[in-house]
Chain A
Amino acid sequence: MREVIEGRVWTLPDDVDTDQIISGKYLTVIDPNELKKHVFEIALPEFAANAQSGDIIVAGVNMGCGSSREHAPQALKAIGVGAVIADSFARIYFRNSINVGIPTVEAPGVRQIFEKGDTARIEMRGGRIQNLRTGASVQFPPLPAHLLELLEAGGLVEKVKREIQAGATVSPR
């Protein structure tokens, strides 16, 4: 995880649920490189063909509500999305997104300072997001230490792998 993340912005409205990110008909697809062709097919149809590595998603409230499907963040990871930021997230989406290693930031008020195509600058530990076109910015409480650590590791797979290699064992019942 980089301390400062900059990228071109794609905007999404409030309440983008997981059906609008990856619809039910693609749920049997588990190859992220295939999934990425269909991401946001309902919410933002032009995204899949035009998104580039490093792009940043800026969503409104309740981003990723709905199902527990991880296809959505996996597809964004395959594209190489630099970060996903939103006014607020649904809880499973937030966990999934962090777990696959995408910097995921909840920053109330962030959606209204961006338009599609702007450039966002995120200071992960500094807790500040700035629109480099307009200069507008919002503050956010930085992620707690255990989640920053998870992102530093590159995601949950790497983190648990290291823990197991370091001798982590199953909790006694």
Chain B
Amino acid sequence: MKGNGTDGGQTLAEKILSRAGGLDRVVPGQIVEGQVDLAMMHEQGAQTVAPFHEMGAPRVWDPDRVVIAIDHWVPASTEGAAVLHRILRQFAKEQGLTHFYDVGNHGICHQILAEHGWVVPGDLAVGTDSHTNMLGAMGAVAAGIGPTEMAAVLSLGRLWLKVPPTLHVRIRGSFGKGVYAKDLILRILGEVKTTGATYKAVEFSGPTIEALTMSERFTLCNMTTEMGAKCGMVAPDATTYTFLEKIAKHPMHPVSPDKDAHYERVIDIDVDGLDPMVACPYSPDNVRPLADLLSKHVKVDQVFLGSCTNARIDDLREGARIMKGHKVAPGVRFIVSPASTSIYKQALEEGLIETFTEAGGVFTNSSCSACFGGNMGILAPGEVCASSSNRNFPGRMGAKDAEIYLLSPAATVAAAIRGELADPREFL
């Protein structure tokens, strides 16, 4: 089906899916059979094993393109989790899947893909977790899929995808003190809402994006999931190539959007003057300036600095910078969970663990931790949590009526110190 569609430029997602589909060009709405460059599984991959065997493929299509990274319950905290881990270990052994990040070498699956260079510019990557979108920061199409679909990918190395229309988000301006990429993505979510990018690709560009670190780009692309997006992405540039220079596992095939690409919608945002933002219960798009809540004195029972969205070394450094010289407020449980074991080690080396624990916080081993309400840091009915994570739907971190406020890492630490939502700029 070469030459399908109209003339004119293509977006980043269209170019990547053209390559994945072996086509000259694609148009939104077109169905392509995309060849997968990287397939990632976490514990949910345990549900991939039975359908994979049932489908009847003799072997996994390409063991060098499959990564397993357990992260939700590490080390296993229940017998059920232990069984999931064992299923994955046995499957890896049986199929010769050597890229297995097991206990001791573990981290949140998306962070593992990022810091080991598993996704490179131009890739089509899929993972059994909805926040796989994060890897779009590499200039790739990275999307979440379910375990049965993953079984089909492991069997044949491809999956069908409907080419998404693209929402173009152009950012200019500079972040003020105490304002971060997290505040920007919350600001965007407040406008686009949780359904505003359903089935769409989100492409970030503009001078502000060009100046962002990879870590900050990961934060932005990560939460395009909360906008309903199929993928969120940033075109590769010098920052991307420098990040991947020594770690890329596969050859890159970078593409950039055409200047005359057709976008379904364009949003322009100037971050000059942007204030710290907060997503209030019970939706990540229930976003307001944090300042609006300060007079309400929103008391917190727990503070969580963690998750794939915001638990990289720069997040922990900024948190520790604010925490230094302060104590966690009486009655507040402050949980810090690094996004990977290597970040854990770096935090240890830099004295960040000491800063957090001396202040009265608990620094846990790397995992998804309190983010998903199934392992640790679970909230009791009526409790309130300030969190650097990505979702605050009812029951997300435990009790149905527990309240979660989503914030930047700096703002979560400010809340830990005050015992209520607080402006991080007061500590900088």
Give B406 Cβ to nearest chain A Cβ, in Å. 14
Alpha-carbon distance between A4 and B342 when the two chains are bound, in angstroms: 55
A8 CB-CB contact with B under 8 Å: no
Instruction: Name 8 A/B residue pairs within 8 A (Cβ), A-sorted.
Output: A19-B373, A19-B395, A42-B400, A61-B195, A96-B149, A155-B148, A157-B148, A164-B155
Q: Per-residue CB proximity of A15-54 to B under 8 Å, as 1/0?
A: 1010110011111111000000000001000000000000
- A interface size (C-beta, 8 A): 46
B78 CB-CB contact with A under 8 Å: yes
B51 CB-CB contact with A under 8 Å: yes
**Interface contact A15-B395, CB-CB below 8 Å:** no
**Interface contact B151-A160, CB-CB below 8 Å:** yes
**Interface contact A28-B78, CB-CB below 8 Å:** yes
Q: Per-residue CB proximity of B35-68 to A under 8 Å, as 1/0?
A: 1000000011011000100111100011000000
B194 CB-CB contact with A under 8 Å: yes
**Interface contact A62-B152, CB-CB below 8 Å:** no
Contacts of B169 in A (CB 8 A): none
Residue numbers of A with Cβ under 8 A of B are: 15, 17, 19-20, 23-30, 42, 61-62, 65-70, 73-74, 88, 90-92, 95-96, 99-100, 144, 146, 155-157, 160-161, 163-165, 168-171, 173
Give B75 Cβ to nearest chain A Cβ, in Å. 13
B396 CB-CB contact with A under 8 Å: yes
Contacts of B149 in A (CB 8 A): 95-96, 99, 156
B31 CB-CB contact with A under 8 Å: yes
**Interface contact A160-B155, CB-CB below 8 Å:** yes
Alpha-carbon distance between A27 and B368 when the two chains are bound, in angstroms: 13
Alpha-carbon distance between A68 and B109 when the two chains are bound, in angstroms: 14
Extra A-B contacts (14), CB below 8 Å, given A25-B374, A171-B35: A19-B373, A20-B394, A25-B373, A67-B129, A70-B47, A91-B199, A146-B160, A157-B54, A157-B148, A157-B151, A164-B156, A170-B157, A171-B33, A171-B158
Contacts of B80 in A (CB 8 A): 28-29
B122-148 residues with Cβ-Cβ distance < 8 A to A are: 127-130, 132, 144-148
CB within 8 A of B372: which of A24, A62, A90?
A24
**Interface contact B146-A96, CB-CB below 8 Å:** yes
Known: A28-B78, A92-B130. A164 touches B395 (CB 8 A): no
Give A97 Cβ to nearest chain B Cβ, in Å. 9
Give B338 Cβ to nearest chain A Cβ, in Å. 20
